Amino acid sequence: MQPMAGRFGLPTTVLLAVVGAAIGATAAFVLNSPDITLFDAVARPFAAPPVTAAVFLDCFLPILLFQASITIDIRRLIEDAVPILVLAVLAVLVTTGLIGWTVSTLSGEPLIPALLLGSIVATTDPAAVVAIFRDLGAPARLTRLVEGESLLNDAAAISIFTILIGLLKSGGHVELGTAVAHFALSFGGGILLGIVAGRLATASLPLLHGERAAEMTLTLALPYLVFILGEEHLQVSGVVAVVAAGVTFGSTGLSRITPLNWAFLNELWEQLAFWAGSFIFILAAILVPTLLIDVGPHDLVLMGAALGAALVARILVLFGVLPPLTWLKWSAPVSTAYKLVITWGGLRGAVTVALALAVTEDTGLDPAVKRFVAVLATGFVLFTLFVNGTTLRTVIRLLKLDRLSPRDEALRDNVVALSLADLRDSLAATATDYRMSDAVAAETLARYTQRIETATQRRETRVAALGDERAEVLERDRLAIALVALASHERRLVLDHHAQGTASRRVVESLLRGSDAMVDAARTDGRSGYIKAVKQVGRYTIGFRTAHLLHRRLRIETPLARRLAERLEQLLVMRMLLDELGRFITHKLARFLDDRLVQIIRDIVDIRRDRTRRMLDALQAQYPEYSAALERRILEQAALRQEQQAYRGLYDEGLIGQELYEDLSRRLRKRQSSTGARPHLDLSLRPGELMRRIDLFRDLAPGQAERLGRLARPLIAVPGDQLVRKGERGDSVFFISSGAVEVILPGEPVTLGRGDIFGEMALLTGEPRRADVTAVTYSQLLVLHAADFRRFLGANPDIQATIQQILDSRLTAEAARSATALGAS
C-alpha cells in the first residue's frame, strides 16, 4: 500500500481502509453466497473477525500514543499550549454537544445516545493528515498543532464517552457536578501518573548500563503498564497517562541513553507505530461492511447532519474562540489558512471505530442504540477518510501553504548555491581521483555550474524584489537562522560528549537545556533572544543555591561538594564546546554568511568564551587538583572511545577476527567502567587545617589551633555572596583561608585575600557594620562567633595586639577617606 499511496498521491491510511473494506465485503459475499462454499472456512474469520474493542484500545492505542509523544518537541508544543488545549478539550466538548443536539433533534433519538455518538466522532486521527503535511512541506507549526491536538483529544473524548455510557446504563441519573469532577480527576490523574511513571523509567535507565535490548524492552513495557494501571486500578485516563509518560520520557531520556541507542529507539518505535496503525485501519475497515449492512436513506441524512455539525463546531472554536485568546496575548496568532486546513483536516480513524465497536459489544445497552451509534460513527469515519483525506492535499495547495515565503526562498537559493559550489568542487576532485575523461567531467560540472548561476540569479532577483527595508529584515532573518544553526550544532556537540562519556549525565542534561533554550530564543527573538538565553547558561541553579544554603545554615557539605564538582565539569566541557563552535563558524557558517554577520556571531561566541574562562579560572584556582583530575578523566574517556572506534574499524575491514574483537571490547568495557564515574570533590573543610593556613595563627601550638578550629565554622563562599551587610549588628568575625572578598567602601573598594580578617571592627568597637563585604571568587572562610572570638583574644594577648593594630590602621584609613571625600565636596 505504501508504494501505491505514493504513486497515486493518497494517504496510506485511505488505501488501507479500502483494502480492509474490500476484504470484509468479499468475505461476507462468499459466506452469504449459496453457490460458493469451498472458501467458507477461510472467509468466516474475516466476515466476523474475532476483534474486539479491547484489541484496538488496549493493544494498539498505547503504541500509537507513546510513539507520537516521545518524538514530539515538547518545547515547541508548550509555545502553542493554549490553541492545542482549545482544540483538544474545548473543541471536543463543543463537537459532542452540537452533534448530539443536531442528531437528536432530527432523529427523535434521546439526547444522551446522540451525545454518545458526538463523543465517539469527536476524536481526530492525525496519521493521514500529518503524512500529507510532510509530503507537501506544510509549515512545521501547522503539523505541530494537529499532532498536539490528537495527543489529548482522544483522552477528552474517551472520558466523555465513559461518562455518557454510565448515564445510559443508570437511566440518566448522574449529576453534572459529579460528571465534571470525574472528568477533571481522570484527566489530571492521568497526567500525574504519566509524569511519575516517565520519571521512574528514566531514573532506572542508568541501571541498565547502556544495554540496548533492555532499554528497548523498558520503553515497550512503559506505555502498557501505565495504561493498564490507570484504566484498571487507579480509575484515571490511561490515554492521558501514556501521553504524559511519553512526553516525560522523551524530554528527559535523551541524556540517559546513548545517542546511538536513542536513534535506534526512535526507529524501533516508528516501526511499531507503523505496524499498529496499519493493523488498526485494516482490521477496522474489515468490520465496516458488517456495521453498515442495513444502512438506509434516513441514516444517510443523519450522517450528513452529524458531518455538518462537526464542521460547524470546529469553525466556531477556531474562528470564534482562538481570536479572543490572541487578543488577550494568551496565544500566538493562528492564521486563517491554518484554521481552514485544521477544519478540513479533522479526519476520524481507528479510535472512533474502536469506540463504536465497544458500544456494539456492550450487553447493557439497548440494541437500537447500538445500531444507531455503529452505523453513524462508521459512516462518519468513511466520509472523512474518502472525502476530506483525498481532497486535503488540494486544499493545502489552494491556500498556498506548500510554498515558502519570499524571504525563505531567498535564503534557500543562497544555501543551494553554496552547497552546489561545494559539491562541484568535490565532484571535480572525484573525477581526478578516478581518472574520468575530461569531456565527461566537464559536461557533468557544467550542469552544476548552471544550477549555481540560476540559484544565484534567483536569490538576487528575490532580494531586489523585497526592497531595502525587507532586505534588512532578510539579513536579520539570516542572522537568526545562523544563530539557530549555531545552537543546534552546540546541541549535537553535547550529544557527542555524551556518547564519548566525557560528560556526566547531569552535565549533559544541563547543557542540553541550555542549547535548547538558545535554539528557541534565537528562533523567536533572533539575536537579542539568543544573547538573553546565553546569559542564563552558567548561572547558579536552584539546586546549587539550595545546596549552598544547606551548607551555610546546617553545615551539610555533601550536596555542595557534588554541585561544585558538577559546575567545574560543566565549565570544562563548555570551554571545549565553545572552542569547537569557533571552528564551526570558520569552516561552515562563514561559507553561507557575509563577513559582517560572521563577525557578529564570532563576537557573541568570544564573549561567551571569556565569561566561561573567568568562571572556570575562579573554580580552578580554588580546586586545582580536582580540576586536573577531571581533565584527566575527560582525556581518558575520549581515548577509550577512540580506541573502541579503531578496533571496530579494524574488525569491519577484516583485519582482526570476531573473537579478537570481542576480547578487546570486553577489556575496553572494564576500563570504561573503572574510569566512568566522576571523581569525588573533597572540600577540605577541616577547621584545624584551615586555621593553620592563616598567617595570624601560624605560631599557635597544634593543640591550640585544633581547639580554635573546633570553635570556628568553615564556610564556602561563591562569587557574588554577600557575607556582611552594612548597618547590621556584628555577631561574628571572618578569616580568609583561601580566595578573595571585596569590601565596598566609599571611593574605591578594598580587596582582601588569603590570611586577611574582616568583621572584627564591629565586634571590637560595638558599632554596626560599616560596609558591605562580597565574595569575588570561590573562597574558604572560617567564621568565629563574637563570644568565642573575645575569649580567644583574652587568652592570646599577642594575637589581640596584632588584630588591634589591624583595626587601628583600618580606622585611620577610613578617617582619611572620609576627610578626602569631605574636602572634595
Q: Which stretch of DSSP H or E encloses residue 139?
A: none
Q: What is the pLDDT of residue 466?
A: 56
Question: 221-278: per-residue pLDDT in tens?
Answer: 999 999 999 988 988 888 889 989 998 998 888 888 888 899 999 999 989 988 888 8
Give 309's pLDDT tier (boundaries 50, 70, 90): very high
pTM greater than 0.85 (yes/no): no
- Look up residue 752 and give its DSSP letter: E
Tell me, what amino acid is at 738?
S
Average pLDDT, the chain: 82
| Residue 373, number of CB atoms within 10 A of its CB | 27
Determine contact, residues 799/757, Cβ cutoff 8 Å: no
Determine contact, residues 731/774, Cβ cutoff 8 Å: no
Task: Give the dihedral sign, CA 335/337/339/342.
Answer: negative
Distance from C-alpha of 549 to C-alpha of 147, rounded to nearest angstrom: 43
Q: What is the pLDDT of residue 131?
A: 67
Residue bearing the bigger pLDDT, 641 or 488 = 488
Distance from C-alpha of 245 to C-alpha of 242, rounded to nearest angstrom: 5
Q: Which residues partner with 741 through β-bridges?
A: 752, 775
Q: What is the pLDDT of residue 339?
A: 83
- Residue 716's alpha-carbon distances to 186, 497, 572, 777, in angstroms, are 48, 30, 21, 10
Q: Which residues partner with 81 through β-bridges?
A: none
Q: Burial level of 570, CB count in 10 A (0-12/13-18/19+)? A: buried
Question: 617-627: per-residue pLDDT in tens?
Answer: 888 888 888 88
pLDDT over 90 (residue 519): no
Q: What is the pLDDT of residue 225?
A: 95
Q: Which residue has the cell 570481542?
A: 662
The vertex-448 CA angle with 442 and 451, nearest 5°, equals 140
Q: What is the pLDDT of residue 368?
A: 85
The vertex-709 CA angle with 706 and 713, nearest 5°, equals 160
Q: Where are the alpha helices (DSSP H) in 384-501?
A: 389-398, 406-433, 438-500
Q: What is the pLDDT of residue 755?
A: 80
- How much is the average pLDDT of 348-355? 79
pLDDT over 80 (residue 800): no
608 grid coordinates? 561567551
Question: 714-749: per-residue pLDDT in tens?
Answer: 888 988 888 999 888 888 889 888 888 999 887 778
For the chain, state the CA radius of gyration: 35
Question: 390-443: per-residue pLDDT in tens?
Answer: 888 888 888 877 776 665 666 677 677 767 777 888 888 888 888 888 888 888
Give 601's pLDDT tier (boundaries 50, 70, 90): very high
Question: 466-478: per-residue pLDDT in tens?
Answer: 555 555 556 777 7
pLDDT over 80 (residue 87): no
CA 767 and chain centroid, separation: 54
Question: 546-567: per-residue pLDDT in tens?
Answer: 998 888 888 888 898 899 999 9
pLDDT over 60 (residue 174): no
Determine contact, residues 63/238, Cβ cutoff 8 Å: no
Give 317's pLDDT tier (boundaries 50, 70, 90): confident
Q: How many residues does the chain have?
A: 825
SS3 210: coil
Highest mean pLDDT (candidates 50-54, 329-333, 570-574)? 570-574
Q: What is the pLDDT of residue 684?
A: 65
554 grid coordinates? 546546617
Give 217's pLDDT tier (boundaries 50, 70, 90): very high
Sheet containing strand 772-775, strands side by side: 722-724, 772-775, 741-744, 750-752
Distance from C-alpha of 316 to C-alpha of 360, rounded to nearest angstrom: 31
pLDDT over 80 (residue 132): no
Q: What is the pLDDT of residue 357?
A: 81
Residue bearing the bigger pLDDT, 353 or 243 = 243
Q: What is the pLDDT of residue 700?
A: 63
Q: What is the pLDDT of residue 272?
A: 92
Give 43's pLDDT tier (boundaries 50, 70, 90): confident
Determine contact, residues 230/280, Cβ cutoff 8 Å: no
- How much is the average pLDDT of 192-199? 94
- Residue 682's alpha-carbon distances to 168, 565, 622, 687, in angstroms, are 68, 9, 12, 14
From the list 349, 581, 598, 551, the residue with the least C-alpha distance to 488 is 581
Q: Return the biggest CA–CA distance within the chain.
A: 122
Q: What is the pLDDT of residue 791?
A: 82
Determine contact, residues 292/381, Cβ cutoff 8 Å: no
Euclidean distance between the first and final Cα of the chain, in Å? 90
- How much is the average pLDDT of 333-342? 82
Core vs surface per residue 694-726: b (16+ CB within 10 A) or e: bebbeebeeeebbbbbebbbbbbbbbebebbee
Determine contact, residues 157/92, Cβ cutoff 8 Å: yes
Q: Which residue has the cell 584551615?
A: 690
Determine contact, residues 111/167, Cβ cutoff 8 Å: no
Q: What is the pLDDT of residue 583?
A: 92
231 grid coordinates? 484504566
Determine contact, residues 155/237, Cβ cutoff 8 Å: yes
